[in-house]
Structure formats: structure tokens, C-alpha cells
Structure 1
Amino acid sequence: MKFAAIVEYANEPERLAQFRPAHRAYLQDLLQHGRLVIAGPFADGSGGLFVYEVANESEASKLAANDPFAKASLFRSVVMKPWKLVFASQDNLNLPL
């Protein structure tokens, strides 16, 4: 089951930059293990969207809580919602490869 986490970041650009490599490594690991569907920051840098593939909301919440940004208190808020993928366009996603 998929869960979307809509996250607002703390307004601490220096600390976000400091923890970003660990945050991205964590997400890369989740992606490689089939637990992350898609992720990325909002264009204004205020937060991000993470879609997890897990059995239930409790697991999704644990993944969000274990993110290095969360552990560094850089997640100001997290809204977790069950999510269904209905349409997707690989061409429009412009994924960095």
C-alpha cells in the first residue's frame, strides 16, 4: 500500500544543507529496497513529498521518523495519507538518471 508524506521543513537552510547528503542516502536506500516510490522537494524548498510502499500507515510513519532530516528535527510537520497511483507519465517526470 502506498502512503504519501507531505512534509514541511524547518526554516534552517544551513542545517538542511548539512543533513541533505544523509537524507538523500536514506531515501536512495529505501528506493533500492522497494520501500520508496517517488520523492522530491517542493520547488520553493519549503518541504517535500515522499511516497512510501509499505504494509500500513504505522510503517510509513516509522520510515518518515527515521529520515535523517526528521532525526535532526528538520521536519516541522508531516501529513501522512494513503495514496493510490492512477496515472503516471515517465516522460513528464524528468527523472535524473
Structure 2
Amino acid sequence: MKYFAVFLPMKDQQKSQEYRQQHLDYLAQRNSEGKIFARGRFVDGAGGLVVYIAESEQEVQQWVGQDPYVALGARGFEIHEWDLVTDAVLPSKF
């Protein structure tokens, strides 16, 4: 499995607020499927980041295209394969 960091830059703040719950529900579903390593918003309002776990970038592109934030025009997206390097002690669920 590979890690893919997906930057979701703000495009439309009003739409972002309007579709927030749908976006969070979507991420919760992907998380329950074991497809998300980490996620969160940037506190400066620039958008957010989701780190997906997948076999390919094409798989992640499909998921990102289904995210209500992207599908409904609230956020853009950039996908980057990420080579995770850490000595951090992670919670046991990982």
C-alpha cells in the first residue's frame, strides 16, 4: 500500500460551509473502510489535507472526485504520493 497526500485548497468558503457535513460524512465512510491515514483542516482557512492509503493514484483520484467538497466546487485538489518517514509513536489503531 502507498500513501497519498491530498491537499484540498479552498475555492468557495460559502460552499465549504454548506457542504461541510456531507464532506465529513464522506471522510468518515472512507475512514471506516481503512482508506484514510490522517485528515484535518488548516487553521488559517487555506483548506485541508487528507492522507489516503491506496494501491494507486488513480484509485485516490476516483475517491477525491466523489468527495462532496470537490464534486460540488467548494475545494480544489492536488494529489501527491507521500513517502512516510517517521519515528513518531502512533496510536495503536495504525
Q: Same fold (TM over 0.5)?
A: yes
Q: Give, in angstroms, the shift of residue 29 of structure 1.
A: 0.7
Q: 2:44 and 2:32 mapped to 1: Cα distance? A: 27
Q: 1:46 and 1:85 mapped to 2: Cα distance? A: 23
Match for residue 48 of structure 2?
48
- Structure 1 residue runs of 4+, over 6 Å off? none
Identity of matched residues, %: 27
Contact 2:16 2:75 in 1 (8 A): no
Aligned residues: 89
CA RMSD of aligned residues (A): 1.5
Q: Give, in angstroms, the shift of residue 15 of structure 1.
A: 1.7
Q: Give, in angstroms, the shift of residue 90 of structure 1.
A: 4.2
Match for residue 78 of structure 2?
79
Confirm or deny that 1:7 pairs with 2:8.
Answer: yes
Q: Give, in angstroms, the shift of residue 74 of structure 1.
A: 1.4
Instruction: Give the unaligned 5+ runs of structure 2.
Output: none
Q: TM (normalized to structure 2)?
A: 0.85
